[in-house]
Amino acid sequence: MGTIKQNRANNILTSGKIDATDGLNNNIPAANIANSSLSNVTAYPPSAGASVSQLASDPPSPTEGQMWYNTTTNTLKQYVVGAGAWATGGTLNQVRRGAAGAGTKTAGLAFGGEGDPPVYAQTESYNGSTWTEVNDLNTARTLLGGTGVQTSALAFGGQPYTAITESWNGTSWTEVADLNTARETAGGGVNNTSVIAFGGNPTTAVTEIWNGTSWTEVADLNTARNELAGNGLTTSALAYGGNLPGATAVTESWNGSAWTETTDLNTARRTLAGSGTDNTIGLAFGGGTPTNTGATELWNGSSWTEDGDLSTARNAMASSSGVGSTSALAAGGNTPGSPGISGTTEEWTKAVSVQTITAS
């Protein structure tokens, strides 16, 4: 008996239906077929659906492009991510640029920054609609690094050039061990015990990791630069944009031990903002090209895709940290015209849905 072919649909239409006129061939080798009735098939190669998970219920937190078979409803499903958009949120109490941020769009923090000319220590907490002033930083500064969540955050570096690090416990800031290199800087991390800081001004490639007690210098960025943005963890981070001098689109990915240059941003810019979970998910927005831009780009682990622009083009914003591509927060910054310093807050939402796939 010869090889047997099976045709299985693999073309999923934009409507979510399977185009039954297209197929995926699965070959059963002739050597594996004992007789024409197929009652004694000795081996069967992996099926077209072998990589599709079979679950009793839909997963609580699916990822973009994930597909699964729901054994309770007997349906094939996929997770679809649509276009993203920014919407206006509550205005900061203290209008400023160069502040750092932490948390999410419903539970955020903004701290530090500057006006014309004061440098601020003020910290504000966001509940998804309004900002409330809470306890100040111990040291006023601008263009500092910041990351974490609303109840556990870290503020590090800044201008005037400093190495000062402060830890937030949800109520107040406590000064802890300094950075090894004084600078304005960018970074990422999950809370006030695990943070990565990289690059900064004076122009440097220095990378340091915080373990909750002290900073340790690790492998440098490949491209020294300042006014960059980034996101991620001590084991998986992303650094993008910045000033060389001149706006750059350079993007680098951190694997826990070294930086690797990867695909550039579509729009080169400096003093941009960023948010994201690790080196596979990032959101870059705003910045100077040198003129202010509202451009927003989404990172999928290998490339950047342009999405919905900020409503107000600006740079030097405070942003959320450690959240995925479907949610982010941008607050304050520099805007075109007078007065040029903003208290505007925008909230990023990217539409997602679970779609049932049916045969056409």
Q: How many residues does the chain have?
A: 360
* Cβ neighbours, 10 Å, residue 329: 30
Q: Give 46's pLDDT tier (boundaries 50, 70, 90).
A: low
Please determine, for residue 10, whether its predicted confidence score (pLDDT) is greater than 90. no
- Report the distance separating Cα 19 and Cα 326, nearest Å: 29
Choose among 228, 298, 294: nearest CA to 259.
228
Q: Which amino acid is at 318?
A: A
* Residue, of 306 and 31, whose pLDDT is higher: 306
Q: What is the mean pLDDT of residues 122-134?
A: 98
Q: Give 81's pLDDT tier (boundaries 50, 70, 90).
A: low
Q: What is the pTM of this model?
A: 0.80
Considering only 66-75, 87-96, 331-340, 351-360, which range has the smallest mean pLDDT?
351-360
Contacts of 253 (CB under 8 A, 6+ apart): 237, 238, 259, 260, 262, 279
Q: Which class for 294: exposed (0-12), middle (13-18), buried (19 or more C-beta within 10 A)?
A: middle
Strand 108-111 with 123-126, pairing: antiparallel
Domains annotated on the chain, with CATH: 1-51 (no CATH), 83-354 (2.120.10.80)
Q: What is the mean pLDDT of residues 203-229?
A: 98
For the record, the structure tokens of 61 come out as 């937190």
- Report the distance separating Cα 133 and Cα 113, nearest Å: 14
- Report the distance separating Cα 311 and Cα 320, nearest Å: 17
pLDDT at 176: 98
* Cβ neighbours, 10 Å, residue 169: 11
Bridge partner list, 356: 77
At residue 233, what are phi and psi to the nearest 5 degrees?
Answer: -125, 175
* Residue, of 57 and 254, whose pLDDT is higher: 254
Condensed to tens digits (0 to 9), the pLDDT of residues 26-38 reads 555 656 555 554 4
Please determine, for residue 338, whether its predicted confidence score (pLDDT) is greater than 50. yes
pLDDT at 242: 98
In Å, how far from its chain's centre is CA 77? 25
Please determine, for residue 44, whether its predicted confidence score (pLDDT) is greater than 50. no
Cα–Cα separations (whole angstroms), residue 236 to 239, 278, 302 = 11, 5, 14
pLDDT at 24: 47
Q: What is the mean pLDDT of residues 277-302?
A: 96
Q: Which amino acid is at 95?
A: V
* Residue, of 23 and 261, whose pLDDT is higher: 261
Considering only 28-32, 152-156, 225-229, 302-306, which range has the smallest mean pLDDT?
28-32
Please determine, for residue 181, whether its predicted confidence score (pLDDT) is greater than 70. yes
Q: Give 246's pLDDT tier (boundaries 50, 70, 90).
A: very high
Please determine, for residue 269, whether its predicted confidence score (pLDDT) is greater than 90. yes
pLDDT at 13: 53
Considering only 145-159, 175-189, 330-344, which range has the smallest mean pLDDT?
330-344
Q: Which residue has the tokens 């309004």?
A: 130
Please determine, for residue 325, whether its predicted confidence score (pLDDT) is greater than 90. no
- Report the distance separating Cα 355 and Cα 77, nearest Å: 6
* DSSP annotation of 30: G
- Report the distance separating Cα 336 and Cα 311, nearest Å: 12
Considering only 20-34, 51-65, 79-93, 263-277, which range has the smallest mean pLDDT?
20-34
Considering only 15-19, 58-62, 260-264, which range has the smallest mean pLDDT?
15-19
Q: What is the mean pLDDT of residues 155-180?
A: 98
Please determine, for residue 25, whether its predicted confidence score (pLDDT) is greater than 70. no
Cα–Cα separations (whole angstroms), residue 282 to 74, 184, 203, 320 = 34, 21, 23, 11
pLDDT at 59: 85
Please determine, for residue 250, whether its predicted confidence score (pLDDT) is greater than 70. yes
Q: Which residue has the tokens 């903002």?
A: 273
Q: What is the mean pLDDT of residues 283-297?
A: 96
Q: Which residue has the tokens 């405070």?
A: 318
Please determine, for residue 41, whether its predicted confidence score (pLDDT) is greater than 60. no
Please determine, for residue 125, whether its predicted confidence score (pLDDT) is greater than 60. yes
Please determine, for residue 47, whether its predicted confidence score (pLDDT) is greater than 80. no
Average pLDDT across the chain, whole number: 88
Angle 197-200-201 from CA coordinates, rounded to 5°: 150
pLDDT at 192: 98
DSSP 305-358: EEEPPPSS--BS-EE--S--TTEEEEEEEE-SSSS-EEEEEEEEEEEEEEEEEE
